[in-house]
């Protein structure tokens, strides 16, 4: 690693943000607050995710920089209020990661990723005990996570204290049970019951995905992308046949869709 280059690069970016916020800087940047930049922080995180999914290293590099800028900007706002600065951010996360990786920086043993995850959960529980934090173990799962991601994290966190099915077959039985309850709500035309049972079914499917070592958020993102690509191909197929999408019948669209699937 080029330490001098790293030091200069980070220092340059910190100083750039200080100038943007300072006298004679940018009026727009000077007006921003923690609350106002929330949306940009979130947008940049999703743009990094999209770049990763596109397997585009140049885009990952670019979007990671944009996300880092938002982190440094947030630290600058705190520094101006004399709460903390970017150095504090880096020092604290470094100390935390060293503490949570005793198999690397200490004498603990971890044979595989599962052992690491179990040790991590134990360390976090001990940190809560020492700090006197008596909140539920689910309390720190962010409310603003996408619903599927949050469901995954909630069930994952509960599994760390063995509140879980022993294997995927039990989860599948639960999913089938929830599906039958959903069918019952539909038969009764009960809108409230439908919403509740659909929620239970979705949560069950998230658990099933987790037991298969997958994340339902990623699965659905991939399914969304597959649908988008097939739909766009269907549009092109119809257009080549001289049919505009708005003029196509459901039968025409379905026929084109099936041809695309067969390919």
pLDDT one-digit tens code per residue, 43-82: 999 999 999 999 999 999 999 999 999 999 999 999 999 9
pLDDT of 127: 86
Domain ranges of the chain: 3-99, 102-131, 147-214, 219-262
Domains 3-99 and 147-214 in one fold: yes
pLDDT of 88: 97
User: How confident is residue 1, by pLDDT bands cut at 50, 70 and 90?
Assistant: confident
CATH of domain 3-99: 1.10.287.1080
C-alpha 205/C-alpha 151 separation (Å) is 10
Question: DSSP class of residue 246?
Answer: G
Q: What is the mean pLDDT of residues 15-40?
A: 96
C-alpha 159/C-alpha 167 separation (Å) is 11
- Mean of pLDDT over the chain: 94
**Residues 6+ positions from 165 with CB-CB distance below 8 Å:** 171, 174, 207, 211
Q: What is the mean pLDDT of residues 20-47?
A: 95
Is residue 135 scored above 90 in pLDDT? Answer: no
129: Cα separation from own chain's centroid: 27
User: How confident is residue 124, by pLDDT bands cut at 50, 70 and 90?
Assistant: confident
Match domain 147-214 to its CATH number in 3.40.50.720, 1.10.287.1080, 3.10.450.100, 3.40.630.190.
1.10.287.1080
User: How confident is residue 261, by pLDDT bands cut at 50, 70 and 90?
Assistant: confident
User: How confident is residue 25, by pLDDT bands cut at 50, 70 and 90?
Assistant: very high
C-alpha 45/C-alpha 51 separation (Å) is 10
C-alpha 201/C-alpha 185 separation (Å) is 12
Backbone φ and ψ for 89, nearest 5 degrees, come out as: -60, -50
C-alpha 64/C-alpha 45 separation (Å) is 8
Q: What is the mean pLDDT of residues 33-37?
A: 96
C-alpha 152/C-alpha 215 separation (Å) is 7
Token pair recorded at residue 82:
């004399």
Report pLDDT digits (tens) over 163-221. Answer: 999 999 999 999 999 999 999 999 999 999 999 999 999 999 999 999 999 999 999 99
Backbone φ and ψ for 147, nearest 5 degrees, come out as: -55, -40
Token pair recorded at residue 63:
């979007």
Report pLDDT digits (tens) over 110-121. Answer: 999 988 988 888
Token pair recorded at residue 105:
């920086």
C-alpha 246/C-alpha 252 separation (Å) is 11
Is residue 131 scored above 90 in pLDDT? Answer: no
């Amino acid at each position: 690693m080029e330490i001098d280059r790293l030091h200069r690069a980070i220092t340059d970016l910190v100083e750039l943000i200080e100038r943007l916020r300072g006298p004679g800087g940018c009026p727009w940047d000077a007006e921003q607050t923690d609350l106002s930049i929330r949306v940009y922080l979130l947008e940049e995180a999703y743009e990094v995710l999209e770049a990763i999914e596109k397997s585009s290293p140049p885009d990952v590099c670019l979007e990671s920089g944009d996300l880092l800028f938002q982190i440094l900007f947030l630290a600058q706002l705190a520094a101006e209020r004399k709460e903390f600065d970017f150095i504090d951010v880096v020092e604290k996360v470094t100390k935390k990661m060293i503490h949570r990786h005793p198999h690397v920086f200490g004498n603990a043993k971890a044979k595989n990723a599962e052992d690491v995850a179990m040790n991590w959960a134990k360390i976090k529980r001990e940190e809560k005990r020492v700090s006197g934090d008596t909140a539920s173990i689910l309390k720190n799962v962010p409310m603003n996570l996408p619903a599927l991601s949050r469901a995954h994290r909630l069930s994952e966190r509960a599994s760390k204290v063995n509140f879980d099915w022993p294997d995927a077959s039990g989860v599948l039985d639960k999913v089938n049970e929830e599906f039958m309850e959903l069918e019952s709500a539909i038969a009764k035309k009960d809108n409230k019951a439908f919403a509740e049972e659909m929620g239970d079914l979705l949560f069950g499917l998230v658990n099933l995905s987790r037991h298969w070592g997958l994340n339902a958020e990623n699965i659905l993102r991939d399914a969304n992308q597959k649908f988008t690509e097939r739909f766009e191909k269907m549009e092109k197929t119809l257009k080549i046949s001289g049919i505009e999408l708005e003029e196509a019948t459901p039968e025409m669209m379905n026929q084109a869709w099936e041809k695309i699937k067969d390919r």
